[in-house]
Amino acid sequence: MPVNPASICCTLVLVGLLAVAACGGDGGGGPLPEGPTTLAYAVSECRQEKNGDAFLTRQVLYVRHGDGEPRPVMEFGEVGPKPNNRLCYNAFGLGRGGFASVLLWPLQRLGVSRDGSLVVFEVTDDFSLFSQSQVQLPLRKGIYVVNADGSGLRRLGPASRAPCFEWTGFVFAFFGFSPNGRTVTFPDLDSALPQLDAPQVFTLDVGTGEATQLTHLPAATGYPTASALFAPSFLNDETITFWSYANPPTQGHPNGANPDGVATTFTVKTDGTGLEPVPVIALPGGSIIPNFMITSAEPLAQGIVVSGETPVNGPAGLGNVVAEVFTFDTNPSQVLQLTNFQRSDTYYAKLTADLRRVVFLASADPLGSNPANHCEVFSIDRLGGDLRQLTNIGEGPAWNCDQFVRTSPRTSCSITQLRVDPVTGWVTFYSSCNPFGSNPYGSQIFTMRPDGTGLRQLTTTRGMTKDADGTLTVELPGPWGVPERGGNE
């Protein structure tokens, strides 16, 4: 497929099931922080006693603006016991993924505005594996907004009735912020179709608290559950993208735009008009696997990054298929393949803040600097040159990117949820690795410059520890968010 590199002026970066794009840059003057503009994150702690009783001992939401100290915004204390249940160990500690806290604690979705000034978060116990009567909420159920300095906390409206996780393994604990910071988007249930349990795309005005339903999708019949709408995110201030297994009628498809019931990406205008499937571009010999989100200053066509070939490593989050990084121009024929690793876990691709490079996760060894095939952060010129390995923090035997659940070996580690602050340019990610000797059996949030220098650990949770009497305690960060051009995945 011919490519004119000079024509790629507005680039969409795709990888696996995740994608990010951008047109134009973000301005800003004055000194920038050594890290993301704003970091919002929960710290969740649970306890597992020797007899198996589980307790949720505490959860705190922190907001850290610039290089300042983290400020607590919301906290609640001990909940339990849940007798003879190993939830603390099995559902939280073993996986070392703090984003799984949404299965147990009240904090659900959160998002940070692109300028870092606002944090929106959601509090509800409706989906907790603990009894709702046990959970003492620090705040009334609902969606809240707070300034990055911790001031101005106020309730915007009720919490979503759609969970931010799927039992199939997906966690989408985020609000997608509009570029102008005035609106967030998220899934909620259609009150007119309660029997279908069909989630829809909603927006919420951060100033007024007014919620608007944008879609009226039918239930998805080709998915294990009807709640098959994922990751609504802003393309621009007037357009939202999401992906769904539903088959809605559209202007050009009166019998349905997705008759096969496969994962399909759609766009819809913020006034509820213009629902359309995003055109899919199949590469020769490739399988069509839509991305979770597309974010840019203007809507772009969707690209395909997964081939039907068998990877040289075992299945990761994408299954037993090969994933590669591609970019493409607004002209669908202008497709450029950036990687050729032939592995299943090359993904989380993001454009750097200057739009010149792409950072992504991979367990490949293209430069001879990752012989154990650890999950590491790489970057490449958006035209496919100057590949660099930015981190070297893997340890123990190889472990696929995003593959956090493990029983052994204890020393394996991985990286997931890579994000780029559009203002400072710093790259932030979630990892169970231990580059500073302070994360022996847990996970932390790390950040670094886009060239890989200045690696910092932003959180200091204790991970999983065991007392002499057999009591197990787990403390992990997550969910979390930083400013992004698009929503957090």
- The structural domains of the chain, with segments of one domain joined by +, span 5-481
pLDDT tens digits for 293-305?
A: 333 443 333 333 5
- Is the pTM higher than 0.85? yes
Q: Is the pLDDT of residue 27 over 60?
A: no
- Give 168 or 103, the one with higher predicted confidence: 103
* Mean pLDDT, rounded, for 177-184: 95
Q: Quick one: pLDDT band at residue 489, thresholds 50, 70, 90?
A: low
Most confident region among 14-18, 171-175, 196-200, 454-458 by mean pLDDT: 454-458
Q: What superfamily in CATH does domain 5-481 come from?
A: TolB, C-terminal domain (2.120.10.30)
Closest C-alpha to 452, from 395, 400, 396, 387? 387
Q: Is the pLDDT of residue 317 over 70?
A: no
**How far apart are the C-alpha atoms of 17 and 303, rounded to whole Å?**
11
For residue 252, the one-letter residue type is G
Structure tokens at 281: 């571009």
Most confident region among 168-182, 345-359, 382-396 by mean pLDDT: 382-396
Structure tokens at 68: 């300042």
- What is the number of other CB atoms lying within 10 angstroms of the CB of residue 372? 12
Q: Quick one: pLDDT band at residue 291, thresholds 50, 70, 90?
A: very low
* Mean pLDDT, rounded, for 193-218: 88
pLDDT at position 24, please?
Answer: 33
State how beta strands 322-323 and 142-147 pair: unpaired
pLDDT tens digits for 44-58?
A: 999 999 998 999 999
pLDDT at position 161, please?
Answer: 92
Q: Are 328 and 303 in contact (CB under 8 A)?
A: yes
- What is the number of other CB atoms lying within 10 angstroms of the CB of residue 440? 12
pLDDT at position 58, please?
Answer: 92
* Mean pLDDT, rounded, for 110-132: 90
* Mean pLDDT, rounded, for 95-114: 91
The residues pairing with 120 across neighbouring beta strands, listed in sequence order, are: 111, 145
pLDDT at position 223, please?
Answer: 64
Q: Quick one: pLDDT band at residue 199, thresholds 50, 70, 90?
A: confident
**How far apart are the C-alpha atoms of 2 and 283, rounded to whole Å?**
12
Q: Is the pLDDT of residue 9 over 50?
A: no
Q: Quick one: pLDDT band at residue 160, thresholds 50, 70, 90?
A: very high
For residue 411, the one-letter residue type is T
* Mean pLDDT, rounded, for 139-144: 92
* Mean pLDDT, rounded, for 6-18: 32
pLDDT at position 12, please?
Answer: 34
* Mean pLDDT, rounded, for 308-332: 67
- What is the number of other CB atoms lying within 10 angstroms of the CB of residue 444? 25
**How far apart are the C-alpha atoms of 340 and 356, rounded to whole Å?**
20
pLDDT tens digits for 411-441?
A: 688 999 999 999 999 999 999 999 999 988 8
- Give 463 or 197, the one with higher predicted confidence: 463
- Give 293 or 333, the one with higher predicted confidence: 333
